[in-house]
Each structure stands twice: as C-alpha cells, then as structure tokens.
Structure 1
C-alpha cells in the first residue's frame, strides 16, 4: 500500500430507498454484473458490499472527468435492502456509512420506507444525496445512453422539462414538509453544506449516473476528507452475515470500516450468548467490482486488509456469532478482556423476544432472522422459537405444542431454507402448516392472510351460533296481549333483539322466550337500536313475571359471555360491549359474584 493511498481510505457509501425504486439497478448499471437478476424477486435480501476503484469510476464517467484531481482510492458501496423489514440491517449500514445515496422513484415519488430511511440517516448524522431515478419513464423523455443529465435535459421538449421540474419540486416540497431547510437540484446549489442535492438518473439507460457519481465524489472530497483519514490501528468492523458453507464451514461476511485486519490476529466478536475470543485463520476479499454476498469468482486470500472493505473471515468457534455484532481486532498493546467488556455492553441491544404461543421461525442466516424478528414484532406476530438452518422434525414438534394455545399460530415460517424429509412427514401427520418464501415481507403477508382468514372463519361461525347483547323496554300503550303468549310493543335501547332468544329482567330473572319479532306487521329476523317493534314472548304473564316498567335484556348463556368478553371482545361495537357489561353486572348482583368468569 503506497504512502499516498494510506492517507485517505475509500469512503463507505450506503444506498437506501423504497423497494423497486432502483437501488441495486443503479449499482448494476455501473458494475455490469447480474446480481439483481439472480436475486429473488429483484429484492436485495442480504447486505452486499462492492468496491469501485476510482479509475473504473472515471472511465465510466467519461473523458471530461479524467483530468480531475481525486484523492480517494475509490468507493465502497454497501447495498442496503430497502424494504421496511431491513430496519436493523439499514441501521448497521447507516452506522458505519460516511455518506448515503437515497433513491427515490421520480415517477411514483416518496414512499413510507423513504422517510424511514431518512429518519435513520438523520439519527446517525449521515449526509446524503438524492438519486431521483427513472427519468426514462417520464412521458416524452428523449433518452441517450450514459449521457450527463444536464446535457440530455437541454435536448428535451419544453413540456418534458416542465414535467421533470414539477416532479423534482414535489420531492423538494416533501423534504421541506419534513423539516429540511434546503433541498434542490444539484446544478442550482451554491452551498452544499446547507442543501441536499437532487440528481435525476436512470438505472435503465445510465443517464445521470455519471453525474450522480461525480456529485458524490465532489462532496466527499470537499467535506469528508477528515472523516475518512486512514487509521493504522487494529481493525474495527461489523458482522453483516454468518454463513454456512459445506466446503469452508462457518464464515463471517464483515464490513471493515476502520484500521487493519491481519491473518492470525486475535479478535473479539459479538456472540449469541456472550462475546467470542478467537483468531483470524483466513482473510478473504472479493475481486474488484464483485459483491461479497454474491461473488461470481473465487475470493482472494490476503495476509492483511485495510479499511474500508467488505471481507470474509474464517476463524474457529464462530458458529454463535450474531449478525450485526461488533468485531474488533486486538492490538499488541491492548487488553483483550477490556475489548471483550466493550463488546459485551454493545451486545445487550441484540435480543430476540419469544412467546410460547407464537410461531416457529427458521431462516438461512442470523441477519435474515434478525430482520424477520423486527418485522414480526412491528406486526404483532408472536414467535415461539427462532433459529437458523433447515426445518427439522423438532421444529414441527415445537409448532404442534402451540396448537392448544392458538391453533392458527401452530405453523412454521421459513425464509429461504429447506425442509428435512422427516420434518415434512411429521408436518403432514400433525397437520402443521409450513410457509416458505425467499422474500421476507411476502412470507409475513402470506402468514397474516392465512391467520386473518382463519380467524374470520372462526368469528363468522361463532357469531352465527352465539347470542349477542340486546336491551329493550316495553311501550306501555302497546300491550296487545297479556299472556299465552304476551304480545307487546318494545323499543330497542341498544344491541339487537332476535326471535328464538330468551329474555331476563333487571333482576336477572328469566321472563320467557321471544317467539316472533314484527315490524309494520311483517316478521323480521332482527331489530336494532331505536327501532319500535312488536314481539311475542312465550311463558310470560304481564303482572306476574313481567312488569310494564321492566328493563329487558337478551339472556346470554354464561359460556357465550366468556367468549364475547375474551377472544372476540374487539369484535363487539362499543354499544354491544356496554350492554354486555351491564348485563354481566345484573347477573353477578343477583346470582353469583363470579358469574361469566
């Protein structure tokens, strides 16, 4: 490594934005690899890191940039997944990033995930520029491959220019609404310390991509040189993923953001239960313009690696390492126990909460598992057990144990893993549903749809059989018959009255059974609040067990009350719940203080 290149390390750039807005497509256009095409559904599932040498960037950007004096050796770009599921991974990317590119679809505009990304960048104090992507989809836009944005913009008809300006100002307006004081198209900015630069791009045609890179590099050169000065101290990194490989065993994909890692150097890494002390057995780095998470060629082995780099580490005793955990090399003059203690404190933030009534969750890596747990927690999906690896018979048995608590949670949710043959057989025998998907948010959506549909089916079945609350009073001037059966007019005070249900009075005493409900001399199946109807009541006699001034309640069986006050409480209207509570108080006062419990 030359003395000049040691002075400044390559800056770490993270790319954030909503799903399908074009994050990986922008990278791929420059890199020319097929990572995007090979990813499930085009969504980047794991953090990847690509190093772009400055010569390659300048060659791509064209002749007019070749004479620029650029000190940075290149860019290390972390491609951060854009869906909300990747909150934790994005925080890791944001934590070590020097600068970020926020990709926004110029056609569809900002989305919820856009503002989640902005919030993370704000929290971490990471400067960013905006790539307003997909200019090629603007109606009437005349495209020219790899062109500079401004040069191509000047060739457009006036109506296209106006359309683009309008869309850019919509983005600018959104940022003003979010409290940003300065946001403008890059060529109109005089002070970049006070404004967020917006660079229109197309990942499909390459238009504006060279502009984006040069604006990014210009900002780094001007404002971030001090931040990216190289340190020759022991390496500091973060674990991106823990990988299992049948040839090399357990390995760690890491982002080295400061200092140096050396072969055979002692390191401390965050583990599942406690930090792990180990030693680097092999250091590997992908070829230039290749991704650490999806390399097409073999890794190169190195004796030492300088920041910043996306690297793979082989070391003994690392199977319990946690994705997202800090990674520290131990220098000759450093106390390994002190570093152990520092990492122990950082690890306290990484937790997976479980609930015995939840689903069984399986994933291909700890990073995926961590992301899914966060997403499930937000969506109130309970997890009984979460682990890495294929679905085993034991996992099916865990799910079977949930059936007594919540039959619809008795499922295994699997991300990107296989089901072992004996587990598949056990699942069929036990009737355990397995959901398997290689796109995280779709896995959640499939399960939620299943759970909600089953719950709705159960609710409809229960509500078709259950007696619902109702309250009424007799209209004294409309007593048509005093017994065998009583026929009188009533006003519904709340809830509903239906035929074939029993009535009690305000003392909780049984009056009789509603034989029929009539409205305008026509039989009806239900009468609701404020309606006045005629009802016939069997086994009732006015003046004996029924008084004209009685308050009438639908007699709800005690077992039905338990169901309504428990699992289906949220399905009742405020009015129904109020009458139910009133009815329970009547029954407890006159029968048993524990009635309905």
Structure 2
C-alpha cells in the first residue's frame, strides 16, 4: 500500500451576504459570485485551486441562507478543514452560530476569515470580541483559533489564508492510496436535460476512472463519463479531486459514500421522500421540483410541516407532474427547473399553474403567502356586527328588530346569526332590510330595521353578526 498526501477538502461556512462566494471568487479569479441568483450560493459546488507552492486545495462552497442549514451541516462533516467567514461590518449572525455548532459537532478544525475589512464600517476588534462571546477564542485572545483579515476587493489576506490552510493540512497528515479501493463523497446531484443524471463528488481515496464499477447504498453503476469542475472531460479523478460522474440511472443521496467495495459505508446523507405521499392531511399542498437534491432537501427542510408535499423530485417538470397536480389540486413549484413547450401546453389544457423560481427565498415567501391565504379562506370571517336597540310588532305575532351598525356592514344575502353574551342563539336569514322605511340591500352605518326567519326570541342588547363561512377548496391552480 502506497500512501500519498492528498489535498485537503475545505468547506467555507458562514452567514448569508458575509462574502463566502466572493472570497472563493477572489481565490479562483472567476466571477461565480456575480453569476449566483440573488447573490446567494444555492447549491454545493466543489472545485480545486493551487497555492504558489503548487499545493492543491479542494473547496466546497456551502450556502449561507437559512434554508440551507442541512447543506451547511453536510459540508462541515465532509470537510477536513473549514473556513468560518464573518463579516467585519456585521459580526456573528444566526447562520454563523449554526455553522459553529456543525463544526463543533463534527470536530472539524477551522480558521476564521474576517471579511470586508476594506469597508469604512469594518470593526474588526468588535467582531473578535463577539466571536469570543460565542466561544471562539482567537490567537492572542486566550485561544488557538487563527483569524485572518481578508478583503475580496483588494486581495488582502488571501495568500496568508491559503498558506494557513496548507499548514493545517500538513499538521493533519491527510493520506490516501491512489491505487486502493475507491472512496468518494456525493456533494450534489442533478438531472441534466442533455446528460441525464449527474453526480458531483469529491474523491477521498483510490482513483475514479471511466469504466470503474462503483456503488452507493444499493445504487450501482459503471462510470461512463467524468468531468472536472470546469466541465472538461477527464479520464480519471485522483484523491482530493472534485468531479462530475455520469452513469447512474438512479441518483444517490447527497452525502452518501461512493465506493468500489460492496460493503456499505456510513454516510452523512439526509433522506427525503421522492414518492407521492400516501396520506393526504389537511392544509396547503404543493408538488415540488428542484434542479439538485441538495436544493430540494433545503427547501423541504425550510417548509417543514407547514406545507404538505404531494411529491418531491429532482429535474424538470414532466407529464406525470402535471397529471398529479391536476388530480390533487396542488400547484407545481419549481426551483431552477423548467417546463418544456409540450409540458406547458399540457398544463394550460389541464388548468395547472406552474411557478418557477431562481431565488429560494422568493419561492419560500410565495408558498408562505399561499398558505396564509388558504388559512384565511378556511377560517370564518365576521364582516359586520349590529346591536338590537328596539323591537316592533309585525304581522302574525312576529317582530321586527331595530338595530344599529357597530362595525362592518349587513346585507340581505349575508349569512347571519343572533348572539347573546357571546353565545349563539341560532342562524337566521334576512327577509327584509329597511332604513328610513325604504327597502335596501345593504346597510353600512346608522340604524335599520330587519325582519328575519326563523323568529328567534331576540331581545334588546342582542348582537346580529354577518359572517362568511370557511371555504373548503385550496388556492392552487385557479
């Protein structure tokens, strides 16, 4: 067995907008940050760079938005080293604290990168003090955690950060056997319209080659294609290399280990349902599609139990999605997915609405809005109240109630009830509504007379309520 030093796998963690992708952008000298929808990284991307000394480092960029907490957790567990990004003008925020919990749980060594130090609003010493309050004791402040001040605009601290990563990697003595059994970790999956199922992974041991027989948690295949992070075809991937793998018919779980051994390896994956739910509960339901398994998991995790998911899957919309939407009265909601012309035509014919998003928090906001609208429509709404202030005899031993509007309005067509001291005496129906002895359809202010049936035993002081009963249908494809 020939053990060789392998490149470290480095996860970059931190709060949204604290400059993680911009930092990696500066290291890689590309424009990834500008290409991300909404300026937020929305899937785990793995890539490799070299230091001035020619040492390779593999980076995993994990999203900072709250919806992606599972992806941040997974990134922390997959990494050998982590960079905890904290903005100099903001300090530790919710996702910073979550990332710290993940790092501590996984016992992952980390370096703090204090970003945006070039800004006039930067308060580096204040941020260091706040980090101490979170239990992060820096060098020179009673601890051994290294903090490096960096700027993605000027390049300050970038070389120092890379040097510290290399030094930490040497101390960890990361080894692998390129000639040994294959071991790789799935960092993302997607269904590409042209290439089919695509699995992004980082090789940790062995050498992944075209033709290699690999498997993961019951899913086995022969490697039919390999591509590096720039999309160029390669014949093999060595330990530490990020690579896209073609050949899987069924997408493995994100976080699963790919191996050439048939014995199962543990994984850090989180399972999620990709089949229709058999039990339909009350509430708002959607059919959810996403471009990658990681994004799908993140959205499902953020929606939680508030929204029912009739079906969740990876890839573009297909005929079965439209059919299920029509039969379950659930809207199609997609993240970075599309509907072809034939699918859109089918949806139009079936009266199915398709909602597509490129920014996850816009998707979450709309679903939350629809859920609220449904709850409101399914709740009874009182639209008017009036108090009985007089009673007048009418024909055949019946009476007319003299009332005064308290709030809202009363119409002839309203569903009405008579209330006494918060107790409902019964529902009634208006037969006649008059103001100033004139028959009217609606009263919005002042006094009026109402003749109703059945003739409940009302008395002065009772309240007349007009209400709208709850609706039973879901707001989806209308």
Q: TM-score range by the shorter chain?
A: 0.7 to 0.9
- Structure 1 residues 56, 396: closer, same or farther in 2, change over 3 A? farther
Residue 112 of structure 2: which of 102, 123, 130 is its match?
130
- Structure 1 residues 7, 434: closer, same or farther in 2, change over 3 A? same
1:348-368 alpha-carbon deviations (Å, 9 max, x no partner)? 844458555621222223333
**2:246 maps to what in 1?**
314
- The structure with the larger Rg is 1
Matches within 5 A, 1:432-511: 432-449=352-369, 452=372, 458=377, 463=381, 503=418, 508=425
The DSSP-based 3-state class of the residue aligned with 2:381 is helix
Residue 152 of structure 2: which of 183, 190, 203 is its match?
203
Maintained 8 Å contact 2:137/2:143 = no
Shift of 1:254: 0.8
Maintained 8 Å contact 2:401/2:451 = no
Higher share of residues assigned strand: 2
Report the TM-score, using the length of structure 1 for normalisation.
0.63
Higher share of residues assigned helix: 1
The DSSP-based 3-state class of the residue aligned with 1:425 is helix
Shift of 1:203: 0.4
Shift of 1:502: 5.0
Residue 21 of structure 1: which of 13, 18, 21 is its match?
18
Maintained 8 Å contact 1:189/1:197 = no
Report the TM-score, using the length of structure 2 for normalisation.
0.76
Shift of 1:536: 7.6
Aligned length: 448
The DSSP-based 3-state class of the residue aligned with 1:129 is strand
Q: Does residue 383 of structure 1 match 2:380?
A: no
Residue 175 of structure 2: which of 226, 229, 235 is its match?
229
**1:394 maps to what in 2?**
320
Matches within 5 A, 1:333-372: 336=262, 339-340=263-264, 349-352=271-274, 355=277, 356=280, 358-372=285-299
Residue 74 of structure 2: which of 65, 89, 92 is its match?
92
Shift of 1:118: 2.0
- Structure 1 residues 216, 563: closer, same or farther in 2, change over 3 A? same
- Structure 1 residues 210, 425: closer, same or farther in 2, change over 3 A? same
1:527-546 alpha-carbon deviations (Å, 9 max, x no partner)? 9xxxxxx9988689xxx946
Residue 332 of structure 2: which of 393, 396, 412 is its match?
412
Shift of 1:169: 3.8
Shift of 1:202: 0.7
**1:217 maps to what in 2?**
166
- In the alignment, the residues of structure 1 paired with residue 390 and residue 285 of structure 2 have an alpha-carbon distance, to the nearest angstrom, of 57
- In the alignment, the residues of structure 2 paired with residue 201 and residue 51 of structure 1 have an alpha-carbon distance, to the nearest angstrom, of 20
Shift of 1:516: 10
- In the alignment, the residues of structure 2 paired with residue 348 and residue 219 of structure 1 have an alpha-carbon distance, to the nearest angstrom, of 29
**1:327 maps to what in 2?**
257
RMSD: 4.3
Q: Does residue 172 of structure 1 match 2:118?
A: no
1:218-268 alpha-carbon deviations (Å, 9 max, x no partner)? 34444x23xx23356423222123345577554421112244445544322
1:119-168 alpha-carbon deviations (Å, 9 max, x no partner)? 222222212222111112125xxxxxxxxxxxxxxxxxxxxxxxx5xx23
Maintained 8 Å contact 2:307/2:371 = no
- In the alignment, the residues of structure 2 paired with residue 397 and residue 245 of structure 1 have an alpha-carbon distance, to the nearest angstrom, of 22
